[in-house]
Every structure is written in structure tokens, then in C-alpha cells.
Amino acid sequence: MKSAMDAVRQSRYKPTLINGMAVRVDTTVSVVFTLGGPPTSDATQQLQLKPGDRYKFTDYVNDFAGVIGPDDKSRLDLICKDLDQKKEIQMAIVTIESLDRQPINDVATQLGNLWGVGHKETNRGLLILLSVKDRQYRIAVGLGLESVLTDEEADRLGREMVPMLKTGDYGEALLQLAERIQVEIAQKVE
């Protein structure tokens, strides 16, 4: 009995003419079989989703990685509500387990834009994104807030929480950052 490849190799071919000369064109057909059908695991499907599809906005604090304790979450919520009500500045705090090989700047920008962080009229919002497994964070400042909190200032404030992040105290690190941002904003916005 002949194999499928033998049948392909022995098939008749018609000469192809290139510039009037007969040229033999040998083609091989490759077939890739996937055992078990298409990928169905949640992890594989999540890699294909955009951050906005994977993470749904729930509140000021969105702890998708499950690393913020209830006390820290409550305190973070209060800071965010205070900024929103008194200064009309929206701050969203997001933790995720992994960036899934996406640049953190892109993920933060996509989430901030999709969720509409910052009031439409002023675009005064900021999003703090922490990716636990990737050991990265990003403070994305909305256009309407850049004159109040520059990227350099945001970076400086972010670096202050790095020692706590290294010890795994994510809730306390984010709380310190949120408090420092609140103080910076309070000094500059009436």
C-alpha cells in the first residue's frame, strides 16, 4: 500500500513554460494536524483577547490579580472617590496577573480609553496598572491632567513604591502611591 506522500511524489505534472522553456514545478503539500482539535483552554483564549475584552471595569479599584487586601481596597476606594468628588479627577487602579507579552503602555492606554477614565469634558483621569508576574507598573495620565501631574512626577511617585512591590506588599504599595498622588494633586488643583 502506498503512502499519501508517495502518491503526491508520483503524480503527473504538466510542464510549465517560462520564457518559452519547459520547467518542472515540484510542489509539496504540507498538512498540519492539531491533536485534540482547536485550542479551548481559557489561557489560550485569553491570550487572543484585547485587554478591554478580558478586564471589565467594576469600580475605582479593579484587582484582577487578587493581590489587594480588603482593608487596602477600601482605603484606595476612598481616595479615588475623594479625588473624583472634590477635584473632578478620576483615578482607576488595576492589577492583573500578566501582560501576556503586550507592552504595558499599550495595555494601560487601552484600558483607560475603553473604560473612559477621566470626565469627558476635562479628560482629567489617570490609571495605575500593576502587572504582578511581569513585575511592571504604569501610571497613565490623561491629557487634561498632564499639566498637574507630569510623566516625570508620576514616574518619581511610582519609584517610591518599588521597595514595597519587591517584598510583595502590593496593596500597601498602591495605597502609598495613591496617597502621594492625592497630595500632589491637592497642592495644584483647587
Question: What domains can be seen in the chain, in order of their start residue?
Answer: 51-188 (3.10.310.50)
* Secondary structure of residue 35 in the 3-state scheme: coil
Phi and psi, residue 139, nearest 5°? -110, 105
DSSP annotation of 15 reads P
pLDDT tens by residue, the chain, 190 residues: 454 444 444 434 445 555 555 544 443 333 333 334 444 444 444 444 555 556 666 789 999 999 999 999 999 999 999 999 999 999 999 999 999 899 999 999 999 888 889 888 888 999 999 999 999 999 999 999 999 999 899 999 999 999 999 999 999 999 999 999 999 998 998 7
Q: Cβ contacts of residue 22 below 8 Å, gap of 6+?
A: 15, 16
Residue 167 CA to residue 140 CA, distance in Å, equals 24
The answer to whether the pTM exceeds 0.75 is no
Helices 151-160 and 170-188 pack at an angle, to 10 degrees, of 140
Q: In 3D, which of 61, 139, 154, 49 has the Cα closest to residue 98?
A: 49
Q: Letter for the amino acid at 75?
A: R
* Secondary structure of residue 61 in the 3-state scheme: strand
| Pairing status of strand 90-96 against strand 125-131 | parallel
Cell numbers placing 11: 503524480
Longest Cα pair distance anywhere in the chain, in angstroms? 86
